[in-house]
Chains A and B, each alone.
Chain A
Amino acid sequence: DSGVTQTPKHLITATGQRVTLRCSPRSGDLSVYWYQQSLDQGLQFLIQYYNGEERAKGNILERFSAQQFPDLHSELNLSSLELGDSALYFCASSVSGATEAFFGQGTRLTVV
């Protein structure tokens, strides 16, 4: 158990819908990362927050947004969902951007 908690574990929703994925980082970690892993693809960086502020942005679609709250948990919002958004979404956390990151178990999103 990495100490990073993601909910829900599985999510099935229809095209056009909006979902929210939640991540609680390890105790003491200030940095949260979101990654997308599609079938047969590597981990694609979406966005990073550090102590409540956006630190870096990757190839995140405009339909996706995220935030980190004062208690350091983070949420990833995916809207106007398309079939191609079906993937595993991972959250990872680290003490800072320069230390090792630990991953949650992921949320498997299936868009039908």
Chain B
Amino acid sequence: EDKVVQSPLSLVVHEGDTVTLNCSYEVTNFRSLLWYKQEKKAPTFLFMLTSSGIEKKSGRLSSILDKKELFSILNITATQTGDSAIYLCAVVGTSGSRLTFGEGTQLTVNP
């Protein structure tokens, strides 16, 4: 069974800090790893990393995938209060038939 473990489970920082969120996984026939941000309701898509795209960047957010060590990190630089959310990591394995999510990291950015 596919498994995703995220750490830390929660994190409190001050505006301007840089944070690193971790995601380790076990999956049969890895296809992709995805990061989502969940604020009040629906998770919103951030990045998808695959064997052919192991590093992604968008503004202050960046993510890398280490397929050998089976983990990914999400970096957020110069954090803002609007970055406060739950960050979810998910993997897609065999047949691309589901996203298996981790428990998420609750990030709180204080002014």
A: residues with CB less than 8 A from B are 2, 33, 35, 41-43, 45, 48, 55-56, 58, 88, 90, 92, 96-106
Asked if B84 is at the interface of the complex by the 8 Å CB criterion, the answer is no
Q: Are A43 and B42 in contact (CB under 8 A)?
A: no
CA distance A97 to B96 in the complex (A): 4
Asked if B77 is at the interface of the complex by the 8 Å CB criterion, the answer is no
Q: Are B102 and A45 in contact (CB under 8 A)?
A: no
Q: Are B98 and A56 in contact (CB under 8 A)?
A: yes
**Chain B, Cβ-Cβ closest to A54:** B97
CB-CB under 8 A from A35, the residues of chain B are 101
CA distance A63 to B19 in the complex (A): 42
Query: Of the 9-residue stretches B20-28, B43-51, B57-65, B67-75, which lies at the interface with chain A?
Result: B43-51
Beyond A98-B32, A100-B34, is A56–B97 a contact (Cβ under 8 Å)? yes
Query: Is chain B's binding surface mostly helix, strand, loop or mixed?
Result: strand
Number of interface residues of B (CB under 8 A): 23
Asked if B14 is at the interface of the complex by the 8 Å CB criterion, the answer is no
Q: Are B92 and A42 in contact (CB under 8 A)?
A: no
User: Tally of A-B residue pairs with Cβ under 8 A?
Assistant: 61
CB-CB under 8 A from B97, the residues of chain A are 48, 55-56, 97
CA distance A16 to B100 in the complex (A): 30
Q: Are A105 and B41 in contact (CB under 8 A)?
A: yes
**Chain A, Cβ-Cβ closest to B88:** A43
For the complex of A and B, the 7 pairs showing the least CB-CB separation, nearest first, are: A97-B96, A56-B97, A98-B96, A43-B101, A103-B42, A42-B103, A100-B48
CB-CB under 8 A from B95, the residues of chain A are 55-56, 97
Beyond the given A43-B90, A92-B99, A103-B42, please list 18 additional residue pairs across the A-B interface where CB-CB is below 8 A: A2-B42, A2-B44, A33-B99, A41-B103, A42-B101, A42-B103, A42-B104, A43-B101, A45-B101, A48-B97, A48-B98, A55-B95, A90-B43, A97-B92, A97-B97, A98-B92, A103-B36, A106-B42
